[in-house]
Amino acid sequence: MMTSPIRLALTLAISLAIVPAAFAAPPTKTGKTDKGNVLTDAKGMTLYTFDKDADGKSACNGPCATNWPVLKAEASDAAGDGYTIITRDDGSRQWAYKGKPLYTFAKDTKPGDVTGDGFLNGAWHLAMP
């Protein structure tokens, strides 16, 4: 059976499109803190999750998002390996890990800081690998 040039080109294009996603680096790193290993952003800043987020939707908008900057996902980013991308109320994209949107904390000043853990009567938690 001969394969048509169009079918061959389409198969090759799909294969090449899948390869980068399969080898894409995760959007987080793992860092060490006084409270153990945590997920961090590319700069090594601790990431957090928020109890009020539900069903892959962020409840942290407006002033909340000023204090808890989101881990932004770019248009070219692809989900995978436990990571998903949610769309925020303002239309921007945010990384989530195991369904929980990820944030940094404005009062953390250097890698390894965990000052946001337990904030707001325990509603904010360290994002653990």
Q: What is the per-residue pLDDT across 26-70, written as a single tens digit (0 to 9) for each?
A: 899 999 999 999 999 999 999 999 999 998 899 999 999 999 999
Both tokens assigned to 109: 């000043």
* Cβ contact 100:48 at 8 Å: no
The helix or strand, by DSSP H or E, that contains position 125, with its residue range, turns out to be strand 124-126
Q: What is the DSSP letter of 57?
A: B
What is the separation of C-alpha 123 from the centre of its chain, rounded to a whole number of angstroms? 19
Both tokens assigned to 125: 């938690």
Both tokens assigned to 50: 């928020």
Nearest to 114, CA basis, from 39, 5, 60? 39
What digits encode the pLDDT tens for the residues 61-113? 999 999 999 999 999 999 999 999 999 999 999 999 999 999 999 999 999 99
The pLDDT assigned to 6 comes to 66
